[in-house]
Amino acid sequence: MKSHPVAVALALAVLVPATPIHAQNPDPIDIRGCTAIENDAQRLACYDKATGRADLPAAQKRNHPPNNAPDIFGHAGTGGTSVAAAEGGNEVARPLSLLDSRWELTPESKLGTFNIRGYKPVYVLPVFFTSNQNSEPHSPNPDNTLAQSQSLDNTEAKFQLSLKSKVWQGVFGGSGDLWVGYTQSSRWQVYNTKLSRPFRETNYEPEAMLVFGTHYELFGWSGRLLGIGVDHQSNGRSNPLSRSWNRVIADIGFERDGWTVMFRPWWRIPESRRTDNNPDISNYMGRGEVQLIHEWHGQEFGMLLRHSLRGGSNSHGAAQFTWSFPLAGNVRGYMEVFKGYGESLIDYNHDATYVGIGISLLDWY
């Protein structure tokens, strides 16, 4: 397995918060954006600043700020949220869109730097089943082909952790933000007592993304996000089970009421043919994907489609369907169905169907 110091540095940047730089970390101006912060202490501090509570003397903390109190930018405010819609004489905050709440695309949703945020779904699936487990992983590189079959169970457990953080707000004159993200997903043979319950596969994915908010209409959809990033993904194993690749990925996001679509084409950064663990990975795990998210009555439905964008014997792809729904408090039920190639890196050229059932704490973005 090759060393990737840049990838490790990106992962550490997410997991180890740095000291905020006040010049890059302006106070938020909209209380709605505070809801997207995952850390309880940071979220409470955000609410205090957005309402003017943080600037009050200790004896006045229980009272609402006066209606003519200046907002955090020194302008006369209303003492509540700074962006509101008038309905029947009352001020009602307009909800942020999914992409805006997660990526802080508009001025009123900016929360500064080094806040830990959710990225991809965070979940635990005690049951993750397939009828076609990959017991003999292989690759065109002979050094990455297993010589004998493994005794693997068809039912295992799967879990995923995924976080991101903005490390630079206001790139290129204030129009963009630099984010770093880290995703880790594991497949655990927890019911396999014969092999002492090993972890079958863990994928590590640090990345850096430059994200811009956009404002245009296309076929009834609002173009909301444009991004470009560098992504590293590997399984941290030695030969013959080592798998890894590096990509440059574009993100193009659209929204309409209750719907979000993200187009993600990518280009694989070439590696030496002699040392490449998986030289044909783009013909299986694809050269791009489309993700569709629909929110409905507290539930979230997701569909991901991926393809190699090639024909003939190089035409391969995958589809994944996810469904999350409220259970209790912040805990949600979660179901995942995957069909095709590349459910994990070790299975990049293995075609199978997987079904998982469990709980989630965070959904997409």
Which has the closest alpha carbon to 186: 154, 158, 205, 162?
158
The domain ranges of the chain are 10-96, 115-362
| Pairing label, strands 199-218, 221-234 | antiparallel
* Cβ neighbours of residue 137 closer than 8 Å, sequence gap 6 or more: 144, 145, 146, 240, 241, 346, 347, 350
Residue 364 has pLDDT above 80, yes or no: no
pLDDT of residue 95: 72
Which has the closest alpha carbon to 268: 212, 239, 236, 308?
308
Burial of 164 (0-12, 13-18, 19+ CB in 10 A): buried
* Residue located via tokens 């003519």: 68
Mean pLDDT of the chain: 83
pLDDT of residue 94: 63
SS3 241: coil
Instruction: Report whether 282 contacts 268 (CB < 8 A).
Output: yes
- Amino acid at residue number 63: N
- The distance from CA 73 to its chain's CA centroid, rounded to whole angstroms, is 31
| Pairing label, strands 221-234, 331-341 | unpaired
Q: Is the dihedral of CA 124, 37, 205, 300 positive or negative?
A: positive
pLDDT of residue 93: 56
Q: Between the CA atoms of 262, 228, 114 and 77, what dihedral angle is there, to the nearest 10 degrees? A: -70
- The distance from CA 363 to its chain's CA centroid, rounded to whole angstroms, is 9
- Amino acid at residue number 225: L
Catalytic (active-site) positions? 232, 234
pLDDT of residue 16: 43
Q: Which two tokens stand for residue 50?
A: 């957005």
> What does the alpha-carbon distance between residue 82 and residue 197 come to, in Å, rounded to a whole number?
54
Kindly state the average pLDDT of the residues 47-61. Answer: 53
Structure-model confidence comparison of residues 201 and 69, the more confident one: 201
Burial of 103 (0-12, 13-18, 19+ CB in 10 A): buried
> Of the spans 45-49, 56-60, 304-308, which averages the highest pLDDT?
304-308
Which has the closest alpha carbon to 24: 165, 178, 171, 169?
169
pLDDT band at 58 (very low <50, low <70, confident <90, very high): very low
Which has the closest alpha carbon to 356: 330, 327, 324?
324
Task: Give the long-range contacts of residues 21-28, CB within 8 A, separation 24 or more.
Answer: 21/113, 24/112, 24/113, 24/168, 24/169, 24/170, 25/112, 25/113, 25/114, 25/169, 26/110, 26/112, 26/169, 27/72, 27/112, 28/72, 28/108, 28/109, 28/110, 28/111, 28/112
Enumerate the β-bridge partners of residue 183. Answer: 162, 205
pLDDT of residue 46: 76
Residue 68 has pLDDT above 60, yes or no: no
pLDDT band at 256 (very low <50, low <70, confident <90, very high): very high
Residue 67 has pLDDT above 70, yes or no: no
> Of the spans 74-78, 82-86, 242-246, which averages the highest pLDDT?
242-246
Q: What is the CATH number of domain 115-362?
A: 2.40.230.10
Residue 268 has pLDDT above 80, yes or no: yes
Instruction: Report whether 111 contacts 119 (CB < 8 A).
Output: no
Q: Give per-residue pLDDT as tens, 306-329.
A: 999 999 999 999 999 999 999 998
Q: Give per-residue pLDDT as tens, 157-181.
A: 999 999 999 999 999 888 899 999 9
Count Cα neighbours of 238 within 13 Å in the Cβ-side half-sphere.
0
Q: Give per-residue pLDDT as tens, 98-155.
A: 899 899 999 889 999 999 999 999 999 999 999 999 999 999 999 999 988 999 999 9
Q: Give per-residue pLDDT as tens, 185-244.
A: 999 999 999 999 999 999 999 999 999 999 999 999 999 999 999 999 999 999 999 999
pLDDT band at 90 (very low <50, low <70, confident <90, very high): low
Instruction: Report whether 244 contacts 8 (CB < 8 A).
Output: no
> What does the alpha-carbon distance between residue 167 and residue 13 come to, in Å, rounded to a whole number?
8
Residue 83 has pLDDT above 70, yes or no: no
> Which segment of 16-20, 180-184, 299-303 scores lowest on mean pLDDT?
16-20
Whether the predicted model's global pTM rises above the 0.75 cut: yes
- Amino acid at residue number 211: V
> What does the alpha-carbon distance between residue 46 and residue 275 come to, in Å, rounded to a whole number?
48
Neighbours of 26 (CB within 10 A): 16
